[in-house]
Amino acid sequence: MKTVHAMITGRVQGVGYRAWTIDEARRLGLKGWVRNRLDRSVEAMFQGDEANVEAMFEKCWQGPLMARVVDIRKRDKAEGEIFDSFTSKSTL
């Protein structure tokens, strides 16, 4: 199992990016969460099979139709919390 933390910047709020992320992550069988940040970025934690986590990371560069991703900072996480679903968290 692999866990990756991602900080996604660009035009990613107000364009359905969180809902799109939830749909795509669930489609790939991933667990974790996504949330907006006050700095207008989107933060996500993806957990699951390594190939599916990497596929999700690549999908994040495109996002939904109106999104325009400028950068994604990706960081592999050490073993830690085990998630049981993929959810949306409150803005931080």
Q: Which positions are annotated as active-site residues? A: 18, 36
CA distance 63 to 68: 8
Residue 79, Cβ density class (10 Å: 0-12 exposed, 13-18 middle, ≥19 buried)? exposed
Q: Residue holding tokens 């667990």?
A: 31
